[in-house]
Amino acid sequence: MSIKPYWQNFINNEWVDGDAGRISLEDPATGEFLAEMACAGTADVDRAVAAARECRDSGELQSMRPVERGRLVREMGSYLLANFEEISLVHCLDSGKPLWEARLEVTNAARYFEYYGNQAETLEGKSIPLGGNYTDFTVHEPYGVSAQVIPWNFPLEIAARSIACAITTANSCVVKTAELDPLSSSYFGHAALSAGLPPGAVNIIAGYGQEAGAALASHPEINHLVFTGSVETGSKVAASAAANIVPSVLELGGKSAAIICKDADLDKVLSSVRNGIFFNSGQVCSAMSRAVVHRDRQQEFVERAAELASSISVGPGIERTESGLNMGAMISQKQRDRAYSLCAQAQKSGARLVSGGNRLNLPGWFLQPTILDQVSPNDEIAQTEVFGPVLTVIEYSDDDEAIEIANSTRYGLVGGIFTEDLNRAMKAASRMKAGQVFINEWFAGGVETPFGGYGKSGYGREKGREALFNYVQTKNVAIALK
Ligand code: NAD
């Protein structure tokens, strides 16, 4: 399967080469050369920010009637759907994920444009009573240039949610895609052109983190920053943004726990394990990476989870066209080997391997779906984000202990509980330190539900209506009457 050999960046509505050369990309399913991507350096970042600034200063986006702006946003989503198969194929080859997962991601990306585009004309201010001598009202105004730094695990969905919010609220944006799988994000440029967005409204640049990413995050001309990625990088970009007094949203990592109670319906649990830790080969910030299981159900759970893991067919994403018990490659050899080493180290520290744990004897970056049992809450494997298809099983005896374990990492992205007892579920939901809590179904929710972290998982929210308010600032206008 071959695709276009060279892809360009998108600045000011033009396709351009990179001032830092090209990035050579490999197919994670084979380890072989896939294509080259233009690589942005600091000069390209300057150009993209200048184009976004000019667009913003022209007032074109902001002076539009909101319903018109909303239509442009929705048009971007329509473009993705109209080119659905082509984008899905490119994304599958670039990221290593199964073709059906790549298709789902294109659908979800398009959904963000629909969801936010529909809300463009609903961002109303309010009137504040100050007595008979005054009239007072608030308006929501865009920040200006929104800088967005994207990770490689869901490049389309994550960029789509930020671009859609930015344009809906009349910000222009510069998106720095991830250097490991930037190809599919090029279609946002095509979508912006197809929708008729003004030059500079959407700029898409690929480049390395320490160069293009750092230059963008610390750029004096940006007004807003959305970063999705690791805690370590998030901390650096937040410091850069703070130096310029730029508000930021940080969506960082997780080590999320599902509490599986004594009365849990294990069919529901297993279906959530399949999606929770093996979707996208576990390279999901909100993955169900820890199963905290009541001791009376431990053995049964582990047996069934091991059976599930060993029934998953692992191999090239391009051959995995239908949703089912299958998994693709991890993004890179480095990520795959890191996950493998963490599993090997966990076994040395006393964890019991009940399924998987090995690399596949195939070219490409595959790791078997893995279950590790008899893990203690403070073990490295229970505290470190593996970002791979690895489920860590921890036993508990009572509700307090389960909550304590669930809350015992530095993260707080999501959490879940499986029980038929609604009182127990609601108490757990209120005690969990997590931005989202799933009851009886991991990943319950959608583009409509706010998403973001407690603790080191970040701050601010993406998704849902709440996210829109991260892209606007409030202006109060007070009028003294005669
Ligand atoms: P990463 O932090 O290495 O990279 C993320 C992005 O930051 C990339 O585009 C990279 O080029 C850029 N970057 C790297 N160094 C930079 C620097 N010094 N300055 C500016 N930008 C820089 O993370 P990753 O490996 O791409 O992604 C995996 C991590 O992302 C995991 O921890 C995962 O949990 C997290 N993640 C979080 C969410 C969420 O919504 N909370 C979603 C997806 C991934």
Domain count, the chain: 2
Cα–Cα distance list, 364 to 26, 196, 252, 316 (Å):
10, 40, 27, 8
Same domain, 228 and 283: no
Same domain, 163 and 292: no
Q: Tell me the CA–centroid distance for residue 230 and ligand 1, in Å.
A: 4
Strand order in the sheet with 202-206: 14-16, 9-11, 202-206, 172-177, 145-149, 224-228, 248-251, 458-459
Q: Is the CB of 153 under 6 A from ligand 1?
A: yes
328 and 98 in contact (C-beta within 8 Å)?
yes
pLDDT at residue 2, as a whole number: 74
Q: Is the CB of 388 under 6 A from ligand 1?
A: no
Count CB-CB contacts under 10 A for residue 67.
Answer: 11
Report yes or no on 451 lying in a domain: no
pLDDT digits (tens, 9 = 90+) for 62-83: 999 999 999 999 999 999 999 9
Count CB-CB contacts under 10 A for residue 31.
Answer: 15
Q: Is the CB of 236 under 6 A from ligand 1?
A: yes
Residue nearest to atom 34 of ligand 1 (CA): 253
Same domain, 215 and 126: yes
Same domain, 203 and 292: no
pLDDT band for position 1 (cuts 50, 70, 90): low
Q: Which residues share a beta bridge with 138?
A: 476
Same domain, 273 and 354: yes
Same domain, 231 and 322: no
Same domain, 402 and 469: no
Q: Tell me the CA–centroid distance for residue 150 and ligand 1, in Å.
A: 6
Cα–Cα distance list, 437 to 49, 230, 391, 460 (Å):
37, 21, 18, 17
Residue nearest to atom 16 of ligand 1 (CA): 209
pLDDT digits (tens, 9 = 90+) for 142-198: 999 999 999 999 999 999 999 999 999 999 999 999 999 999 999 999 999 999 999
Q: Tell me the CA–centroid distance for residue 229 and ligand 1, in Å.
A: 2
Residue nearest to atom 9 of ligand 1 (CA): 178
**Region 282-293 average pLDDT:** 98
Same domain, 219 and 316: no
Given a cut of 80, whether residue 259 has pLDDT beyond it is yes
Given a cut of 70, whether residue 389 has pLDDT beyond it is yes
Round to whole Å and give the CA distance between 392 and 356.
12
pLDDT digits (tens, 9 = 90+) for 328-345: 999 999 999 999 999 999
**Region 209-216 average pLDDT:** 98
DSSP reduced 3-state for 389: coil
Q: Is the CB of 151 under 6 A from ligand 1?
A: yes
Counting residues of the chain whose pLDDT is more than 90, the rounded percentage is 100
pLDDT band for position 412 (cuts 50, 70, 90): very high
The number of the ligand 1 atom at minimal distance from the alpha carbon of 453 is 41
pLDDT digits (tens, 9 = 90+) for 122-134: 999 999 999 999 9
pLDDT band for position 139 (cuts 50, 70, 90): very high
Report yes or no on 244 lying in a domain: yes
Round to whole Å and give the CA distance between 28 and 23.
15
439 and 283 in contact (C-beta within 8 Å)?
no
**Residue 32 CB burial class (10 angstroms; 0-12, 13-18, ≥19):** exposed
What is the domain range of residue 223? 6-252+458-476
Round to whole Å and give the CA distance between 11 and 9.
7
CATH code assigned at 296: 3.40.309.10
Q: Which residues are catalytic?
A: 251, 285
